[in-house]
Amino acid sequence: MSDAAGLDTATLARLVGGELEGDPARCIRGMAAPARAAPDQLAFVVNADALPSGLADSNAGALLIPRDLPATVLPAEAVRIRVAAVYPAYARISQALGAGRRARDPGVAESAVVDPSARVDAGACVGPGAVIAAGATVGAGAVVEAQAHVGREAVIGAQTFLHPGVRILDGVELGERCIVHAGTVIGADGFGFAPEDGTWLKIEQLGAVRVGSDVEIGANCTVDRGAVEDTRIGEGVKIDNLVHVAHNVEIGDHTAIAGCVGIAGSARIGRHCAIGGGAGILGHLSIADHVTIHAMTLVTRSIDHAGHYASGVPHQEARLWNRTLARLRRMGRRARDT
């Protein structure tokens, strides 16, 4: 079935509901691209019409492939697992092979600082140098890695994993089975200032942040607390590295946000949206459910219908871009003169 260092191909096929061709007892310990895979690794082919390089000569011990991929293009020695949809099957196998990556023994490290009023479940793990402040709650099976900080009255749900150096500030609530990667800060003050006679008066940010269950937030992200109402991130949301979520933003369930996105204050993003890398969303806008925003798009007004939206100019040779820019300037001058 499986051993301490891997899983057999029969187990993997059952896990993804696949059709197994070949040795059911072959042990798989990892994954790799076809050209670099070893006999104890699994490689995958997402699309039968776009075969990866090195597939025919691959040394992979097993291949995860579409049901309609001809055997003639595959190495004869590899075990084959045929599935209807490769990418979700790949995700499930990766989870099975990496099941122990975030396993930690329960207990509180000697160098951790836990306030007497905090509630840390006996099954939780608190690493070296971590801080659990007054009134905070750390749920069953949760992990607070080294040097992470859980602020006053904050709540860390069961099985949630905080990587080293994460900062969960006062009053923030995280649901169950969340993953927050190193360097992320959740609950810092939002950017709130009132102008007065050429100066800026700080507006105290009196809200918090509420994060649903099964959320993953990448490294070095910032999620600001609300000014009055809470900033809210829904169930199953996935956020890449280096994303800024400003105060009072609401993100609907199962939305995915790629790296370097900036979302300004009080924006409302629907459910099942996909936001490409480097996109910018202005404040106080609403985005409907099932909207895809392409990379580097600047959203300047609300989007009330599902669909794909894009802006920006794709790259081209500099001499061509300079000509295009010159034409745009001429068009602008003509419009001004009419």
247 annotated active-site = yes
Query: What spatial distance separates the first Cα and last Cα of the chain, rounded to whole Å?
Result: 78
Q: What is the SS3 assignment for 80?
A: strand
Give the whole-angstrom CA distance, residue 148 versus residue 151: 10
Unique residue bearing structure tokens 């809470």: 230
- Annotated catalytic residue, options 244, 247, 305, 308: 247
Q: What residues pair up with 309 in beta bridges, in sequence order?
A: 293
Give Cβ neighbours of residue 116 (< 8 Å, ≥ 6 apart).
none
Angle between helix 86-97 and 9-16 (nearest 10): 130
Cα–Cα nearest to 261, from 249, 282, 244: 244
Q: What is the SS3 assignment for 198?
A: coil
User: Structure tokens of 112?
Assistant: 């951790």
Give the whole-angstrom CA distance, residue 122 versus residue 68: 50
Q: Identify residue 26 by its one-letter amino acid code.
A: R
Unique residue bearing structure tokens 């939780």: 124
Which residues participate in catalysis according to the annotation?
Answer: 247
